[in-house]
Amino acid sequence: MICQFCRFEWNEKTIDEKYGFESPISELHGIHMGSGATRLQESTKDVLTLKCGACGADVVVNTNEAMTARCHWCRNTLSVNRQVPNGAVPDGVLPFSFPKDKAIENIREFVSKRKFFAHPQFVKEFAPEEVVGVYMPYLTMDANAEVELQGKGEVQTRQYTRGSGDNKYTVYDADVYELGRKFDLYVDDILIESSQQRANQDTDLNTNNVINAIQPFDTKQAVSYNANYLRGYTSERRDLDVTAVEPMANGRVLSVARSRAGDTIRRYGRGVRWEQEQLVVHGSRWVSLYVPVWLYSYYEQRGDRAFTHYVAVNGRTGSTMGSVPVRQGRLLAVSAGISIIGTIISGVIGIAYLAL
Protein backbone atom coordinates (compact mmCIF):
# COMPACT_ATOMS: atom_id res chain seq x y z
CA MET A 1 0.00 0.00 0.00
CA ILE A 2 1.06 3.59 -0.67
CA CYS A 3 0.09 6.65 1.37
CA GLN A 4 -1.63 9.19 -0.90
CA PHE A 5 0.03 12.10 0.90
CA CYS A 6 3.65 11.18 1.68
CA ARG A 7 3.94 8.25 -0.80
CA PHE A 8 5.32 5.98 1.94
CA GLU A 9 5.02 2.28 1.01
CA TRP A 10 4.40 -0.55 3.44
CA ASN A 11 3.26 -4.17 3.53
CA GLU A 12 1.09 -5.95 6.06
CA LYS A 13 2.35 -9.16 7.65
CA THR A 14 1.20 -12.41 6.10
CA ILE A 15 -1.49 -14.32 7.96
CA ASP A 16 0.97 -17.03 8.99
CA GLU A 17 3.31 -14.41 10.45
CA LYS A 18 0.57 -12.54 12.32
CA TYR A 19 -1.13 -15.56 13.86
CA GLY A 20 1.88 -17.86 14.23
CA PHE A 21 0.47 -20.40 11.79
CA GLU A 22 3.88 -21.44 10.51
CA SER A 23 4.02 -24.76 12.39
CA PRO A 24 3.86 -27.94 10.24
CA ILE A 25 0.36 -29.23 9.47
CA SER A 26 1.46 -32.67 10.68
CA GLU A 27 1.69 -31.24 14.20
CA LEU A 28 -1.89 -29.95 14.25
CA HIS A 29 -4.17 -31.36 16.97
CA GLY A 30 -7.58 -30.00 17.84
CA ILE A 31 -9.18 -26.97 16.19
CA HIS A 32 -7.29 -23.70 15.79
CA MET A 33 -8.95 -20.51 14.51
CA GLY A 34 -7.94 -17.01 13.61
CA SER A 35 -9.94 -14.32 15.39
CA GLY A 36 -11.91 -13.58 12.22
CA ALA A 37 -12.98 -17.22 11.88
CA THR A 38 -14.39 -17.65 15.38
CA ARG A 39 -18.04 -18.40 16.02
CA LEU A 40 -20.47 -15.73 14.85
CA GLN A 41 -22.33 -14.03 17.67
CA GLU A 42 -25.96 -13.55 16.73
CA SER A 43 -26.43 -10.89 19.41
CA THR A 44 -23.90 -8.59 17.78
CA LYS A 45 -25.49 -5.74 15.86
CA ASP A 46 -24.84 -5.29 12.17
CA VAL A 47 -24.64 -1.55 12.78
CA LEU A 48 -21.49 -0.12 14.37
CA THR A 49 -20.78 3.41 15.55
CA LEU A 50 -17.33 4.74 14.73
CA LYS A 51 -15.80 7.88 16.20
CA CYS A 52 -14.07 10.13 13.69
CA GLY A 53 -10.44 10.58 14.66
CA ALA A 54 -10.32 14.00 12.97
CA CYS A 55 -13.31 15.88 14.39
CA GLY A 56 -14.74 13.49 16.99
CA ALA A 57 -18.14 12.99 15.32
CA ASP A 58 -19.98 9.66 15.64
CA VAL A 59 -20.63 7.92 12.29
CA VAL A 60 -22.79 4.81 11.85
CA VAL A 61 -21.63 1.94 9.57
CA ASN A 62 -23.84 -0.96 8.49
CA THR A 63 -21.39 -3.87 8.18
CA ASN A 64 -23.89 -5.72 5.99
CA GLU A 65 -23.30 -3.15 3.29
CA ALA A 66 -19.86 -1.62 3.82
CA MET A 67 -16.92 -1.43 6.16
CA THR A 68 -15.89 2.11 5.33
CA ALA A 69 -17.72 5.44 5.59
CA ARG A 70 -17.04 9.18 5.34
CA CYS A 71 -17.53 11.53 8.23
CA HIS A 72 -20.47 13.76 7.25
CA TRP A 73 -18.75 16.76 8.89
CA CYS A 74 -15.10 16.70 7.86
CA ARG A 75 -15.18 14.04 5.08
CA ASN A 76 -12.50 11.98 6.78
CA THR A 77 -12.56 8.30 5.79
CA LEU A 78 -13.46 5.93 8.62
CA SER A 79 -13.07 2.16 8.47
CA VAL A 80 -13.87 -0.93 10.52
CA ASN A 81 -10.30 -2.01 11.13
CA ARG A 82 -10.74 -4.08 14.25
CA GLN A 83 -12.13 -7.59 14.74
CA VAL A 84 -15.84 -7.62 15.46
CA PRO A 85 -17.59 -10.92 16.24
CA ASN A 86 -20.23 -10.74 13.51
CA GLY A 87 -18.04 -11.88 10.62
CA ALA A 88 -17.57 -8.38 9.22
CA VAL A 89 -13.78 -8.33 9.56
CA PRO A 90 -11.71 -11.30 8.33
CA ASP A 91 -8.24 -12.40 9.44
CA GLY A 92 -6.66 -11.60 6.11
CA VAL A 93 -7.13 -10.25 2.62
CA LEU A 94 -5.71 -11.23 -0.76
CA PRO A 95 -5.42 -7.88 -2.58
CA PHE A 96 -6.45 -7.28 -6.19
CA SER A 97 -3.56 -7.42 -8.64
CA PHE A 98 -5.39 -8.01 -11.96
CA PRO A 99 -6.50 -4.56 -13.20
CA LYS A 100 -10.07 -3.63 -14.04
CA ASP A 101 -9.41 -2.74 -17.68
CA LYS A 102 -8.01 -6.21 -18.35
CA ALA A 103 -10.93 -7.79 -16.50
CA ILE A 104 -13.28 -5.91 -18.83
CA GLU A 105 -11.35 -7.26 -21.83
CA ASN A 106 -11.62 -10.81 -20.50
CA ILE A 107 -15.36 -10.50 -19.93
CA ARG A 108 -15.94 -9.00 -23.37
CA GLU A 109 -13.91 -11.79 -25.01
CA PHE A 110 -15.75 -14.47 -23.00
CA VAL A 111 -19.16 -13.16 -24.06
CA SER A 112 -18.17 -12.52 -27.69
CA LYS A 113 -17.38 -16.23 -28.15
CA ARG A 114 -20.95 -17.05 -27.04
CA LYS A 115 -22.90 -14.28 -28.80
CA PHE A 116 -24.30 -16.59 -31.47
CA PHE A 117 -26.38 -18.44 -28.88
CA ALA A 118 -26.85 -15.50 -26.48
CA HIS A 119 -30.29 -13.99 -25.94
CA PRO A 120 -30.69 -10.80 -28.04
CA GLN A 121 -31.85 -8.80 -25.02
CA PHE A 122 -28.64 -9.70 -23.20
CA VAL A 123 -26.52 -8.77 -26.23
CA LYS A 124 -28.30 -5.42 -26.41
CA GLU A 125 -27.83 -4.63 -22.72
CA PHE A 126 -24.33 -6.13 -22.32
CA ALA A 127 -22.08 -3.53 -20.64
CA PRO A 128 -18.83 -5.05 -19.33
CA GLU A 129 -17.73 -1.63 -18.03
CA GLU A 130 -20.18 -2.16 -15.17
CA VAL A 131 -18.04 -4.94 -13.71
CA VAL A 132 -17.58 -4.61 -9.95
CA GLY A 133 -14.57 -5.54 -7.84
CA VAL A 134 -15.81 -7.65 -4.92
CA TYR A 135 -13.99 -9.16 -1.98
CA MET A 136 -15.61 -12.56 -1.38
CA PRO A 137 -15.52 -14.12 2.11
CA TYR A 138 -13.96 -17.57 2.39
CA LEU A 139 -12.72 -19.83 5.16
CA THR A 140 -9.47 -21.69 4.58
CA MET A 141 -8.68 -24.95 6.36
CA ASP A 142 -5.44 -26.81 6.95
CA ALA A 143 -6.04 -30.42 7.98
CA ASN A 144 -3.96 -33.12 9.66
CA ALA A 145 -6.02 -36.18 8.73
CA GLU A 146 -6.02 -39.95 8.52
CA VAL A 147 -7.89 -41.59 5.65
CA GLU A 148 -9.02 -45.19 5.10
CA LEU A 149 -10.56 -46.35 1.80
CA GLN A 150 -12.05 -49.78 1.05
CA GLY A 151 -13.38 -50.98 -2.30
CA LYS A 152 -13.01 -53.18 -5.36
CA GLY A 153 -10.65 -52.93 -8.31
CA GLU A 154 -10.77 -54.69 -11.67
CA VAL A 155 -7.94 -55.88 -13.91
CA GLN A 156 -8.99 -56.65 -17.48
CA THR A 157 -7.90 -60.07 -18.75
CA ARG A 158 -9.65 -60.32 -22.13
CA GLN A 159 -11.69 -58.26 -24.61
CA TYR A 160 -13.78 -59.67 -27.48
CA THR A 161 -16.91 -58.96 -29.53
CA ARG A 162 -20.14 -60.87 -29.85
CA GLY A 163 -23.11 -60.64 -32.18
CA SER A 164 -23.09 -59.27 -35.70
CA GLY A 165 -24.21 -56.23 -37.66
CA ASP A 166 -26.17 -53.72 -35.61
CA ASN A 167 -26.23 -56.18 -32.67
CA LYS A 168 -22.47 -56.34 -32.30
CA TYR A 169 -21.18 -55.52 -28.81
CA THR A 170 -17.94 -55.73 -26.83
CA VAL A 171 -17.44 -58.01 -23.83
CA TYR A 172 -14.74 -57.67 -21.17
CA ASP A 173 -13.40 -60.31 -18.81
CA ALA A 174 -11.77 -59.03 -15.63
CA ASP A 175 -10.37 -60.21 -12.32
CA VAL A 176 -11.98 -58.43 -9.34
CA TYR A 177 -9.92 -57.66 -6.23
CA GLU A 178 -10.78 -56.41 -2.76
CA LEU A 179 -8.43 -53.56 -1.90
CA GLY A 180 -7.90 -50.89 0.70
CA ARG A 181 -5.67 -47.94 1.40
CA LYS A 182 -4.89 -46.24 4.70
CA PHE A 183 -2.57 -43.26 5.05
CA ASP A 184 -1.93 -39.93 6.76
CA LEU A 185 -2.85 -36.84 4.76
CA TYR A 186 -1.77 -33.21 5.30
CA VAL A 187 -3.89 -30.75 3.32
CA ASP A 188 -3.04 -27.06 3.00
CA ASP A 189 -5.54 -24.23 2.38
CA ILE A 190 -8.84 -25.87 1.48
CA LEU A 191 -10.95 -22.88 0.38
CA ILE A 192 -14.67 -22.85 1.27
CA GLU A 193 -17.33 -20.15 0.70
CA SER A 194 -18.43 -18.56 3.98
CA SER A 195 -21.27 -16.46 2.54
CA GLN A 196 -24.60 -18.28 2.59
CA GLN A 197 -25.72 -16.44 -0.53
CA ARG A 198 -22.66 -17.50 -2.55
CA ALA A 199 -22.65 -21.02 -1.12
CA ASN A 200 -26.15 -21.50 -2.56
CA GLN A 201 -25.44 -23.63 -5.64
CA ASP A 202 -29.10 -23.86 -6.77
CA THR A 203 -28.67 -23.92 -10.56
CA ASP A 204 -32.35 -23.06 -11.00
CA LEU A 205 -31.69 -19.61 -9.53
CA ASN A 206 -28.09 -18.60 -10.22
CA THR A 207 -24.67 -19.53 -11.56
CA ASN A 208 -22.72 -19.09 -8.32
CA ASN A 209 -20.64 -22.13 -9.30
CA VAL A 210 -18.67 -20.02 -11.80
CA ILE A 211 -16.93 -18.27 -8.89
CA ASN A 212 -15.36 -21.57 -7.84
CA ALA A 213 -14.42 -22.26 -11.45
CA ILE A 214 -11.93 -19.36 -11.48
CA GLN A 215 -9.87 -20.86 -8.64
CA PRO A 216 -7.18 -21.38 -7.49
CA PHE A 217 -6.20 -18.27 -5.56
CA ASP A 218 -2.62 -17.84 -4.33
CA THR A 219 -3.74 -17.77 -0.69
CA LYS A 220 -0.15 -17.89 0.60
CA GLN A 221 0.18 -14.27 -0.54
CA ALA A 222 -2.69 -13.12 1.69
CA VAL A 223 -1.79 -10.43 4.21
CA SER A 224 -3.34 -9.54 7.56
CA TYR A 225 -6.53 -7.53 7.20
CA ASN A 226 -6.39 -3.80 6.69
CA ALA A 227 -9.53 -1.90 5.64
CA ASN A 228 -7.50 0.29 3.26
CA TYR A 229 -7.35 -2.63 0.82
CA LEU A 230 -11.14 -2.38 0.45
CA ARG A 231 -11.21 1.19 -0.82
CA GLY A 232 -12.86 1.32 -4.23
CA TYR A 233 -14.28 -2.20 -3.93
CA THR A 234 -17.38 -3.77 -2.43
CA SER A 235 -17.32 -6.71 -0.03
CA GLU A 236 -19.58 -9.35 1.43
CA ARG A 237 -19.71 -10.37 5.06
CA ARG A 238 -19.12 -13.88 6.32
CA ASP A 239 -22.33 -15.34 7.74
CA LEU A 240 -21.44 -19.05 7.95
CA ASP A 241 -19.63 -20.60 10.90
CA VAL A 242 -16.89 -23.21 10.77
CA THR A 243 -19.43 -25.82 11.88
CA ALA A 244 -21.61 -25.00 8.85
CA VAL A 245 -18.83 -25.38 6.25
CA GLU A 246 -16.88 -28.21 7.92
CA PRO A 247 -18.80 -31.03 6.14
CA MET A 248 -17.99 -29.49 2.75
CA ALA A 249 -14.36 -28.98 3.73
CA ASN A 250 -14.09 -32.62 4.84
CA GLY A 251 -15.58 -33.63 1.48
CA ARG A 252 -12.80 -31.72 -0.27
CA VAL A 253 -10.22 -33.48 1.90
CA LEU A 254 -11.68 -36.84 0.85
CA SER A 255 -11.43 -35.75 -2.81
CA VAL A 256 -7.74 -35.03 -2.27
CA ALA A 257 -7.39 -38.46 -0.61
CA ARG A 258 -8.97 -40.25 -3.57
CA SER A 259 -6.64 -38.43 -5.93
CA ARG A 260 -3.58 -39.35 -3.87
CA ALA A 261 -4.74 -42.96 -3.62
CA GLY A 262 -5.06 -42.98 -7.41
CA ASP A 263 -1.28 -42.97 -7.71
CA THR A 264 -1.18 -46.41 -6.02
CA ILE A 265 -3.96 -48.19 -7.97
CA ARG A 266 -2.89 -47.76 -11.59
CA ARG A 267 -2.63 -51.52 -12.19
CA TYR A 268 -6.42 -51.79 -11.92
CA GLY A 269 -7.00 -50.73 -15.50
CA ARG A 270 -10.76 -51.34 -15.43
CA GLY A 271 -11.10 -48.91 -12.55
CA VAL A 272 -11.62 -48.85 -8.79
CA ARG A 273 -14.87 -48.30 -6.92
CA TRP A 274 -14.46 -47.09 -3.32
CA GLU A 275 -17.34 -48.51 -1.27
CA GLN A 276 -16.31 -47.33 2.20
CA GLU A 277 -14.50 -44.13 3.16
CA GLN A 278 -13.42 -43.03 6.61
CA LEU A 279 -11.88 -39.67 7.47
CA VAL A 280 -10.44 -38.79 10.88
CA VAL A 281 -9.28 -35.18 11.28
CA HIS A 282 -6.73 -35.06 14.10
CA GLY A 283 -6.28 -31.31 13.84
CA SER A 284 -7.46 -28.37 11.75
CA ARG A 285 -6.59 -24.70 11.36
CA TRP A 286 -9.15 -22.14 10.15
CA VAL A 287 -8.63 -18.62 8.82
CA SER A 288 -11.22 -16.15 7.54
CA LEU A 289 -10.08 -14.62 4.26
CA TYR A 290 -11.23 -12.12 1.63
CA VAL A 291 -10.38 -13.09 -1.98
CA PRO A 292 -10.68 -10.69 -4.96
CA VAL A 293 -13.18 -11.28 -7.78
CA TRP A 294 -14.20 -9.05 -10.67
CA LEU A 295 -17.92 -9.78 -11.06
CA TYR A 296 -20.33 -8.97 -13.87
CA SER A 297 -23.95 -9.93 -13.22
CA TYR A 298 -27.06 -10.02 -15.38
CA TYR A 299 -30.62 -10.64 -14.22
CA GLU A 300 -32.77 -12.67 -16.61
CA GLN A 301 -36.52 -12.83 -16.08
CA ARG A 302 -37.75 -16.40 -16.51
CA GLY A 303 -41.51 -16.35 -16.29
CA ASP A 304 -42.43 -15.27 -12.80
CA ARG A 305 -38.92 -15.52 -11.34
CA ALA A 306 -35.50 -14.02 -11.95
CA PHE A 307 -32.31 -15.92 -12.75
CA THR A 308 -28.90 -14.40 -12.06
CA HIS A 309 -26.05 -14.95 -14.51
CA TYR A 310 -22.46 -14.20 -13.53
CA VAL A 311 -19.22 -13.74 -15.40
CA ALA A 312 -16.36 -13.84 -12.89
CA VAL A 313 -12.68 -12.94 -13.26
CA ASN A 314 -10.05 -13.99 -10.73
CA GLY A 315 -8.68 -10.75 -9.25
CA ARG A 316 -5.20 -12.25 -9.09
CA THR A 317 -4.73 -14.39 -12.21
CA GLY A 318 -7.39 -13.16 -14.66
CA SER A 319 -8.91 -16.65 -15.00
CA THR A 320 -12.44 -16.14 -16.37
CA MET A 321 -15.65 -18.18 -16.32
CA GLY A 322 -19.33 -17.35 -16.58
CA SER A 323 -22.72 -17.90 -18.17
CA VAL A 324 -24.95 -15.93 -20.53
CA PRO A 325 -28.71 -16.15 -21.17
CA VAL A 326 -29.33 -18.54 -24.06
CA ARG A 327 -31.50 -17.96 -27.12
CA GLN A 328 -33.49 -21.18 -26.81
CA GLY A 329 -34.94 -21.15 -30.35
CA ARG A 330 -31.55 -20.88 -32.05
CA LEU A 331 -30.01 -23.48 -29.72
CA LEU A 332 -32.80 -25.98 -30.43
CA ALA A 333 -32.57 -25.33 -34.18
CA VAL A 334 -28.82 -25.99 -34.24
CA SER A 335 -29.24 -29.11 -32.09
CA ALA A 336 -31.94 -30.40 -34.45
CA GLY A 337 -29.72 -29.69 -37.45
CA ILE A 338 -26.81 -31.61 -35.92
CA SER A 339 -29.14 -34.51 -35.13
CA ILE A 340 -30.43 -34.62 -38.73
CA ILE A 341 -26.90 -34.52 -40.15
CA GLY A 342 -25.86 -37.32 -37.78
CA THR A 343 -28.83 -39.43 -38.90
CA ILE A 344 -27.98 -38.86 -42.58
CA ILE A 345 -24.32 -39.80 -42.05
CA SER A 346 -25.33 -42.95 -40.14
CA GLY A 347 -27.68 -43.90 -42.99
CA VAL A 348 -24.99 -43.41 -45.62
CA ILE A 349 -22.53 -45.53 -43.62
CA GLY A 350 -25.19 -48.23 -43.19
CA ILE A 351 -25.92 -48.31 -46.94
CA ALA A 352 -22.19 -48.54 -47.69
CA TYR A 353 -21.84 -51.41 -45.22
CA LEU A 354 -24.73 -53.33 -46.86
CA ALA A 355 -23.20 -52.74 -50.29
CA LEU A 356 -19.99 -54.36 -49.10
**Mean local confidence (pLDDT), 286-300:** 91
The three-class DSSP label of residue 260 is helix
Is the pLDDT confidence value at 151 over 80? yes
pLDDT confidence of residue 73: 55
Is the pLDDT confidence value at 276 over 70? yes
Instruction: Please compute Rg for the chain using Cα positions.
Output: 27
Buried b (16+ CB within 10 A) or exposed e, 21-35: beeebeebeeebbbb
| Weakest-pLDDT range from 38-42, 90-94, 234-238, 340-344 | 340-344
pLDDT confidence of residue 11: 73
The residue with greater pLDDT, 206 or 156, is: 156
Q: Are 179 and 152 in contact (CB under 8 A)?
A: yes
pLDDT confidence of residue 236: 80
Closest CA to 239 of 139, 307, 312: 139
Task: Report pTM.
Answer: 0.75
Is the pLDDT confidence value at 331 over 50? no
Instruction: List Cα–Cα distances, 136 to 39, 165, 199, 289, 350, in angstroms.
Output: 19, 57, 11, 8, 56
CA distance 43 to 56: 27
Is the pLDDT confidence value at 345 over 90? no
Instruction: List Cα–Cα distances, 148 to 198, 251, 266, 332, in angstroms.
Output: 32, 14, 18, 47
- Detail the DSSP E strand segments found in the chain: 30-33, 47-51, 58-62, 68-70, 77-79, 92-93, 132-162, 169-193, 223-224, 234-235, 272-302, 305-314, 320-322
Q: Are 66 and 211 in contact (CB under 8 A)?
A: no
**Mean local confidence (pLDDT), 193-212:** 80
pLDDT tier at 128 (50, 70, 90 boundaries)? very high
Instruction: Render 275-305 in DSSP notation, one character per residue.
Output: EEEEEEEEEEEEEEEEEEEEEEEEEEEETTE
Is the pLDDT confidence value at 350 over 60? no
Instruction: Render 84-144 in DSSP notation, one character per residue.
Output: -TTTTS-SEE----S-HHHHHHHHHHHHHTTTTTB-HHHHHH--GGG-EEEEEEEEEEEEE
The three-class DSSP label of residue 335 is helix
The domain locations on the chain are 15-44+84-150+177-325, 45-83
Instruction: List Cα–Cα distances, 99 to 33, 92, 225, 308, 313, in angstroms.
Output: 32, 21, 21, 24, 10
CA distance 241 to 237: 12
Closest CA to 211 of 237, 240, 239, 191: 191
pLDDT confidence of residue 353: 47
CA distance 278 to 171: 34
The residue with greater pLDDT, 111 or 64, is: 111
- Residue 76 has φ and ψ, to the nearest 5°, of -70, 145
pLDDT confidence of residue 354: 45
Q: Cβ-count burial of 291 within 10 angstroms (0-12 exposed, 13-18 middle, 19+ buried)?
A: buried
pLDDT confidence of residue 86: 52
CA distance 76 to 61: 14
Instruction: List Cα–Cα distances, 353 to 129, 165, 167, 332, 340, in angstroms.
Output: 57, 9, 14, 31, 20
**CA 291 to the chain's CA centroid:** 10
